[in-house]
Amino acid sequence: MKRSFKIIAGLIVLVGLGIGIYVYWQHGKYYPGTDDAYIGAHTIHVAPRISGRVVSVAVQDHQHVHKGQILYRIDPTTFQLKVDSDKAELKLAKQHVAALKAAVNASRADVNQAKVQLANANSKAKRQRALARQGYTNKQALEDAIDKSRAARASLDVAKANLQQALAQLGSANEKNGQIEAAESALGIAKSNLADTTVTAACNGNLSQMNLRPGDSVTTGQPNFVLVCNQRWWVNANYKETSLSRIHPGESATVSVDMYPHHVFHGRVVSINPASGAAFSLLPLENATGNWVKVTQRVPVRIVILNTSPRYPLRVGTSAEVTIDTLSNSSAPHH
C-alpha cells in the first residue's frame, strides 16, 4: 500500500512537472523575453562648424538643456571683421555695376548718334550723286561725300561693338548680376560663420562628457561633448534567433529597467535588425573552417518606450528586461 502511494505520488509530481514545463514553454513561445537588453536614445556629438578659441561656456556636465539654448561661444572677432569686409565688397560691387550700367547707356547713346551721322552722310552722298549726274558738282565733292558716308558706317560699327562689350561686362542689369551675386554669397557665408560662433543645443536633453573650458581651442567637426536627447527612448533587446519567428513590429512589450525594478515601462516593437549583433563586428565569425561550431546568434529588436516619466529618468546603456506579447498585434502574421 505504501509502495503504491509512493508510485502514485511520483506520477503526480512528474505530471505536475510536465504540465509546468509545458506551460512555461507555451508562455515563452507567446511571450518571449530576454534580459540581454539595454536602454538607448538619440545622442548628438556636439561639434563646432568653425574653428576658434572658446570665450565662454554657458553649461556644465550632466546639465539639462533645452533646444536652442546656448552651450558655448567662440571668439567672434575675426568672423565679424570678415562680415564687415564682405559688406564693403558688396557695396563696391554694386557701385561697379552702376558704373557699368552708365557705360552701357553711354554706348547706346553713341550708337544712336552714329546712326544719325550715318543717315546724314548717306543723304549728302545721295545729293552729290544727283548733282553729279546733272553736272552741277565736281568729282572731288562726290568722292568726299561718299568717303564721309563710309566713315559714318564704320563709326556706327565701332559704336555697336563698344555697346556689345559694355553689355558683356555688365552681364545682368538686375539683382542677378554675377558680381553682385558673388559678393552676396561671400557675405552670406561670412554671416553664417559668425552665427556659428554661438553653439546651441539641437534638442532637449542632458549633457555628458562635458569638460570644455574658456580658452580651449575647438576644431571644425571635432566633437567636444555629447548631448543625449530625451524626447524618445527605446530598448535594444538582443533576442536569440530562435525566438524571432513570432516577433513583429507593432507588438506590445513590457520593460523592466534594473534601476527601477518595481516600475513597469510599456513599449512597442518598432523594428528588427536585419543582421545579428556579430555580423558587423570588427572580428566577424568565420564559419568556413573545419572547426565550426554552431552558436545561436542574437538579433537586436528595437522597442520604443511609450510611458517615459520624469520620476523615472532613463540612462543610455543601462540594463533592462523585456517581454514581448506576440498576441497583441492582430495584423502581424503568427506561426
- The percentage of residues in the chain with a pLDDT greater than 90, rounded to a whole number, is 49
Q: How far is CA 202 from each of CA 72, 207, 209, 214, 224, rounded to the nearest angstrom?
A: 13, 12, 17, 21, 14
What are the DSSP E strand ranges found in the chain? 33-46, 52-57, 64-65, 70-74, 198-200, 205-208, 217-218, 225-240, 252-257, 264-272, 298-305, 319-325
Tell me the three cell numbers of residue 305.
518606450
The low-confidence residues of the chain, meaning pLDDT below 70, are 1-29, 132, 137, 142, 166-167, 169-176, 279-293, 329-335
- What is the structure's pLDDT at 15? 59
Q: Per-residue pLDDT tens for 118-146?
A: 778 777 777 777 776 777 767 777 677 77
- The percentage of residues in the chain with a pLDDT greater than 70, rounded to a whole number, is 79
Q: pTM here?
A: 0.71
- What is the structure's pLDDT at 23? 47
- What is the structure's pLDDT at 334? 44
Contacts of 24 (CB under 8 A, 6+ apart): none
Q: Per-residue pLDDT tens for 185-209?
A: 999 999 999 999 999 999 999 999 9
Closest CA to 267 of 299, 309, 302, 228: 302
- What is the structure's pLDDT at 243? 86
